[in-house]
Amino acid sequence: MSSKRVLITGGAGFLGSHLCKKILDAGDEVLCVDNFSTGRRAHLVPFQDSPNFEFVRHDVSFPLHVEVDEIYNLACPASPIHYQTDPVQTIKTTVIGAMNMLGLAKRTEAKIMQASTSEIYGDPLVHPQTETYLGNVNPIGLRACYDEGKRCAETLFFDYYRQHQVKIKVARIFNTYGPHMHPDDGRVVSNFIVQALRGEQITIYGNGNQTRCFCYVSDLIDGFVRLMSTNVDVTGPFNLGNPVEITMIELAENILKLTGSKSKLVFMPLPQDDPKQRRPNIDKARDGLDWEPKVPLREGLKETIAYFKTLL
C-alpha cells in the first residue's frame, strides 16, 4: 500500500507536532504548514532530516496550492491569551483558513478534518455536553473571536459536505495537555506546573470549584487518526476528551504533590465568559471510533512536568 501525503496546518504547534510524529511513524508523508504565530520551530527539529517530512511557512488565511490526500486543519491559536491578542486575525484564521482548506480538499478530493473545540458549547447549560447540544455562547464577548470562529468553521465544513460532497471530519477537542504545551499560553495545566516549578503562587481564577476534564495528548492524537480513517459518510462532530472531571483546586493540589512545590494557592476574579464546568459525553466516539482515553491524569501530569522541567 502506497504512503499518503498528509497536510497538517498548525503543524508546529502543541497538537500539530504530536500529529506530525504520529503520521510519520505510520510511514506516511507529512507536509507541515505553520506561520509560527504560536507554533515553535523546536517542535519540528526531530523531523527535519526525515525524507517524508516537508515544511512550508504559510498563513492559512491565504490560499495554498499543493497536492495532498488528507488534510488536518489545526491552524489557530487555541489559548485565550494567544487568541485574544489579535482577535481579528483569530477569526481570519478560523473562518477564512477553513474556507481555504476546504477549497483545497474540494480540488484534490482529499479527506479533511477540522480541529474544532469544546468552546463551541460556550458556558454550557447542559452537563455533560453531547454533540447535539447547541451551546450557550456570547457572540460579542472577549472569547467570541475563537468560539464563534470555530462555530462558523463547522458551518462551512458541513456546507461544503452538503453542497460539494467534500469528505469532512469534525472533532470537538476538550482540554488537552502534555509535552509541547507553551509555558506562557495561560492554560490551567501549564500555568499551574510552571508556577509550581518556579515556586510562585498558584493562580486560581474564581473559587476553584469550576471543573474541567483533561485528556493527555497521545490519547487525543489517536482519536484524530481514528476519525480520519473512517468511511466518508462518518463526518462527526465527535467530542474528543477525557470525561473524568476535576476541580481546579484538586488539579492544583495534584500538581503541588507531583512537583514537591511549596507554592501557595491564590484566588483571582474569574475572566469574562469563562465556563464554570466542562465535561464531554464521549459515547459517540466510543461507538463510532472505538476510542476512549487511556492515560490517567497522574501519569500524564508526570510526563508534562518532566517536559516543563527541561524548558525551565
How many whole angstroms separate alpha carbon 89 and alpha carbon 233? 32
Nearest of 99, 124, 128, 31 to residue 71 by alpha carbon: 31
Helix (H) / strand (E) element for 167: namely: strand 167-173
Task: Please give the grid coordinates belonging to residue 178.
Answer: 502534555
264-292 in b/e burial notation, b at 16+ Cβ within 10 A? ebeeeeeeebebebbbbbbebbeeebebb
User: For residue 24, what are the CA distances in angstroms to 9, 82, 179, 189?
Assistant: 15, 28, 18, 28
What is the crossing angle of helices 248-259 and 297-311, to 10°? 60
Contact of 190 with 182, CB cutoff 8 Å = yes
Judge whether 146 counts as a catalytic residue.
yes
Of 140, 33, 156, nearest to 87 by C-alpha is 140
Instruction: Note whether 198 and 265 are within 8 A (CB).
Output: no
Beta pairing partners, 267: 204
Quickly list H helices, the chain. Answer: 14-25, 80-85, 87-91, 97-108, 144-164, 188-198, 217-228, 248-259, 283-289, 297-311
Q: Which residues contact 107 (CB under 8 A, 6 or more apart)?
A: none
Q: Which of 72, 83, 121, 146 is catalytic?
A: 146
- In whole angstroms, give the CA distance from residue 208 to residue 268: 10
Give catalytic residue positions: 146
